[in-house]
Structure 1
Amino acid sequence: MTTNDEARGEHDAPSSRDPQDTDADEYRTTDQHEATSPIDRRDYLRTVGAVGVLGVMGGLAGSATGSAAAQADWETEADRRIAEHRQGSLEVEVVDETGQPVPNADVDVEMAEHDYGFGYVLSANLLLNETEPGHPYRETLKEDFNIVWFGNYHKWRFFEENQEIADQATAWAKDNGLDIRGHVCLWANVDAWAVPGDVVDAMGVDHQSGESGADLDPQHVRDRSFEHVREIIEHYADFEYEGTEYGSVIEEWEVMNEVVHVPGMIRAVNGVPGEQESDDLDPVTAPVLAEWYDHARDVAPEDVGLATNDYNTMEGSLEYARSAYERQIEFLAENGSLDYAGIQSHFGDRDSAVSPEETLDVLDRYAQHGVRLRVTEYDATGDDWSDEEKADFFHDYLKTVFSHDATDAFLVAGGSDAHHWRDDAPFFYEDWTPKPAYHVYQDLVFDEWWTEASGTTDDSGTYATDAFLGVHEVTITVGGESTTEQVSVTDASGTTDLVVTPGTSTSDCEEQGGVQVGEHCARDPDDDSLYEDVNGDGQTTHGDVNALFENLDSDDIQGNADAFDFDGNGRIGFSDVISLLRDI
């Protein structure tokens, strides 16, 4: 395995590529493929189930993590960490209208959404120009994931030249309830057509993506880069598209991508042509790097994180990259301008796979500097291991990462084989038939790590269970009458309490000072005339955001605009969902 090409995530782009005609480096456009039926995760689990998946996995030859005994040892420890860091206690108290406990009430708890980020690439060109509603790509984005990263159209040149595509795809993601990881403000890879032509020239690089030829101009690179960081962050901090005000739509921004491997902008600002080495310059600790991050911090909303991202930082056991990346993380963290460290995780062949033990060691190494960690672009490619073996490794890697308390997201490179940068997508063959790794993903995320519990209340009217962190629907049935409430379990070290009164009617809700929203009785917890407790569970959490989103077009919400106008613009729309989310 080389230090540059074999585990790279956004590279190998042909120099003749026209960025106007393709989604560029990661995802090549092709002719439209015939779509199979849309994927529904619950239908899938009913028909396949965990036993079938584990049976396939048990038959694999040559596990990437060693013997069956070793597998059992590390997995037992991983499951223990998952129970400690990814689950919290949920206590449901059922009371009647007088506040007295209701024993023997039936309680069903069903998870609706993970708190942990499970993500996928959003290829804007594939989404908008090659697929229609109902296509498997669109359905898997909506059904299987809660966060996305853009393959290209949030990159500098693509954003400047194709802002309409970037904005349309951004609006689609938010309309479908997806968080967005901002990828990326600055990336110096001229081969991927990620840098505007005038900046390519000013970097002193002679490349066909430039305008008139290399002409080193450090001040121009500096000025244009700082201007762009401000422009793109502010654009999506107060985002509006076709009359809809979305507010702040990016959860975190990579300020600069692949500093370890592609430091051309840093070189240019320091008077060195972008493709020329300099023994006197250490890009990962360069002052201008901290200045870019400080500038991003100044212009970004307070709740938007700042991130790094690079390759060979996990895959391949390559110390040159891990050491340099750790120094970059430490440098920016000590500067106070780093929240997340992205670990691309492009496993380019079987030899690049890492054991669970090594994975934990590397995560510990980065996490010690006080940043959160995210796997940002996972894939496993190459002809020297089978799709089943890749799925086996994916199972181990995903479970290990999920078990580490410093991680909060795992994002995957995507599309089908026809759209993947190495023609070997993790989850789908060219005809959108799921690969073994997709089955593993479904089994872990929507079965093994998915809360489904039921029981009856005790004499004190209480039912308790462990629940994975996230949003849950709790259904109480008494005397054949059911009441459903939403609750967010967000504390792995404490107990989330939910008090439910079965059969609360619309008149009861209004008499109690609430506003009926579907099955919920929304409350105003702080007497500001805004009913932030949309699901009426006595808390203001992400469950209220979900309840507002799901009922946004209902008469209950639209007919009570004053109660739910969280953005203060005098009307009800998606921007109110975003405003409530930001307040929470």
Structure 2
Amino acid sequence: MTRNHTTTDPDAQVTTDDADRAATDESRTDPGGGRVDRRDYLRLIGGVGMAGAAGSIAGQATAQSDDWEAAADERIREHRQGLLTVAVVDENGQPVPDATVEVAMQSHDYWFGYAMSADLLDQTDPGHPYREALKEDFNVVWFGNNHKWRFFEENQERADRATAWAKDNGLDIRGHVCLWANVNAWPIPGDVVDAMGLDHQSGESGPDFDAQHVEDRSFEHVQTIIDHYADFEYDGTSYGSVIDEWEVMNEVVHEPGFIKAVNGVPAPDDAPDIDPVTDPVLADYYQHARDVAPDDVGLAVNDYNTMEGSYEYARSDYERQIEFLAANGHLDYVGIQSHFTEQSTTVSPQEALEVLDRYAQHGVRLRVTEYDATGDDWSDDEKADFFGDYLKAVFSHEATDAFLTAGGSDEHHWRDDGPFFYAGWDPKPAYEVYQNLVFDEWWTDTAETTGEDGTATVDAFLGTHEVRVETTDGTTVTETVSITDSDAGRQITVTVDGSTADGPNWVSEPAPTDPDGDGLYEDVSGDGDLNFPDVNRLFQTTESTEVQDNAEYLDFDGDGDADLQDVLALFEMV
């Protein structure tokens, strides 16, 4: 993710297979077991009951405001920016005033991501718009299919090749997904499809229900794929741990087949006595993942209709799943897919914040994972307007730390309507909105001048920055610094060659310092504090050449010279 962006070549086109386009399967199973399209869910009418503790993250984000955007901008300043203080000193440790401090952002700490297709990567050359978009516009990717169970087992080489490419190009990776029970999307190996009791063309020899086989194979796969990428090697290069977060089970609210099967119920059968989102088998899967994953790899849930469409059935079940897993220490991140399949499924910024509050109250981090806005009932400009509002609302919420989109052009998107690019890779209006927010409004590119105390302070967005210091005599120093905490900010000291023409010239060590930046060097002993050793050192050295040459910086009584009266004045300060 870099600051400079160029328009991609609209003429370059590629094709990809149907499996990779179906990164998210449109056909879903409702909680009652019937097959329905997501467009056919009835929108529920009414408000969402909210729960939350006073003073929590959840309560802070939904404070009433006549202007939601102004309130969002204020939250962004509070949660997404931190003070960067740069102290410029010379080789003697003396402050350097009037130096120019340029702060140029290099990347966001917040995750902005895109769907990645290993097939599409294989079909494109270096410099192709798809590859350039991944490298230039985003800092994290998720794989539409290649990390799913069946695709990983059938072509691990392809998955690994794309994984290595992502890491070679500075991209983090969100693991999607260890297990997903949606047989229609073909993510399950054929032998497991049969053992789940499913009659599906992706099976091997037909349904042959075997609960133990499902349990053994699925638990084994969770460990296999997590272990594989926890110590990843490819083509002679050792990458170490490369997946920052794993969805252990995807869409449990809608696709509980594994949980049913392990409980002894064939996946196609009704199971009224099983509550998948709070079932002990679900906890077992997550505990198993926790046991085998590196300590710094998070575990996540992910589901649809948990934001879009105001579907209370999904929000309620999802919240119960979140609460259940979080209470047992099994959950770090909550994925909110955000597939807005028609204009009627959109939510207002205020409703979006309320839903985020609802999930955040359970002590988890929130991530939009598969955003897109599709359908013929609204224009691309309307989709762009909604995207901008939704992105800003999500970015402003303290509990979020990622916003990932479905990727590719219209030609490669699962609904032929990618969020950012037309089929010929011309940018859509939403892409311009993304650029303006992420690389302009939320991007630090500024310069300040150091004061008499040699410091300059910038309110910078959290992320990595290049700090370039130039003194009045043309001396330059460049350093790279990361800011990751909005409350603590960051303080750095940049040392330039030579000594300042103005300011004190100390010879002895440790050199006196100016603790309060008022131009007087009360810390005569150089130990960082104002105390009696300062009085003693000044008393012992009042007549020395060093003190007399720097008299204006030790003139504590203000009479224009350095003498015993200044010793008394310093004593009174102590």
Query: Shorter-chain-normalised TM-score: which range?
Result: 0.7 to 0.9
User: In the aligned structure 2, how far is the partner of 1:115 from the partner of 1:165?
Assistant: 29
- Shifted more, 71-80 versus 350-359: the winner is 71-80
What is the SS of the residue equivalent to 1:411? Answer: strand
Structure 2 CA distance for aligned equivalents of residues 21 and 241 of structure 1: 27
Task: Note the 1:310-325 alignment, pairs <5 A.
Answer: 310-325=303-318
Superposed counterparts of 1:12-411, under 5 Å: 22-26=19-23, 73-128=67-122, 130-411=123-404
Gaps of 5+ in 1: 1-18, 29-69, 505-584
Separation in structure 2 between the aligned mates of residue 72 and residue 417 of structure 1, nearest angstrom: 37
By how many angstroms is 1:24 displaced?
Answer: 4.9
Counterparts in 2 of 1:243 and 1:255: CA distance versus 1, 3 Å: same
State the alpha-carbon separation in 1 of the partners of residues 494 and 269 from structure 2: 66
Residue 20 of structure 1: CA displacement? Answer: 8.2
Distance (whole Å) between structure 2 residues aligned to residue 335 and residue 263 of structure 1: 20
Residue 425 of structure 1: aligned partner: 418
Measured against aligned partners, the alpha-carbon deviations of 1:381-407 in whole angstroms (never above 9, x if no partner) come to 011110000000000000000000000
Superposition deviation, residue 72 in structure 1? 7.6
1:373: how far off?
A: 0.3
Aligned partner of residue 291 in structure 2, secondary structure: helix
Partner Cα distance (1:493, 1:277) in 2: 51
C-alpha contact (below 8 Å) 2:21/2:413 kept by paired residues: no
**Are 2:465 and 1:468 equivalent residues in the alignment?**
no
Is the 2:322–2:334 Cα contact (8 Å) retained in structure 1? yes
| 2:440 is the alignment partner of 1:451 | no
Give, in angstroms, the shift of residue 489 of structure 1: 1.0
Question: Corresponding residue for 1:483?
Answer: 477
Between the aligned partners of 1:476 and 1:488, the Cα distance in structure 2 is: 16
Question: Post-superposition, which runs of at least 4 consecutive aligned residues in structure 1 deviate over 6 A?
Answer: none
**Cα gap change, 1:137/1:110 in structure 2, threshold over 3 Å: closer, same or farther?**
same
Query: Aligned with 1:256: secondary structure?
Result: strand
Distance (whole Å) between structure 1 residues aligned to residue 264 and residue 245 of structure 2: 30
**Cα distance in 2 between the residues matched to 1:435 and 1:222:** 45
* TM-score, reference length from structure 2: 0.76
Give deviations 1:378-434, integer Å, cap 9, x for gaps: 000011110000000000000000000000000000100000000000000000000
Q: CA deviation at 1:163?
A: 0.1
Amino acid at match of 2:141: V
> What secondary structure sits across from 1:302 in the alignment?
coil
Partner of residue 61, structure 1: none
Cα distance change on mapping 1:417 and 1:72 into 2, 3 Å: farther
User: Following the alignment from structure 2 to structure 1, what is the Cα–Cα distance between the partners of residues 224 and 17?
Assistant: 21
Query: Secondary structure of the residue that 2:383 maps to in structure 1?
Result: helix
1:441 to 406, 416, 434: 434
**One-letter identity of the residue aligned with 2:493:** V
Distance 1:174 1:336 in 2: 29
Pick the structure with greater CA Rg.
2
* Distance in 2 (alpha carbons) for counterparts of 1:124 and 1:71: 44
Equivalent-residue separation in structure 2 for 1:166 and 1:260 (angstroms):
27
Q: Please state how far the C-alpha of 1:490 moved relative to its aligned partner.
A: 1.3
Return the letter of the residue paired with 2:381. Answer: E
1:71 positional shift? 10
SS of residue in 1 equivalent to 2:97: coil
Counterparts in 2 of 1:91 and 1:254: CA distance versus 1, 3 Å: same
Shift in Å at residue 21 of structure 1? 7.0
CA contact (8 A) 1:199 1:224 kept: yes
Q: State percent identity of aligned pairs.
A: 72
Any idea what the Cα deviations from partners look like across 1:67-99, whole Å, max 9, x if unmatched?
xxx998000000000000000011000000000
- How far 1:463 moved relative to its partner? 0.3
- Look up the SS of the partner of 2:254 in the other structure: coil
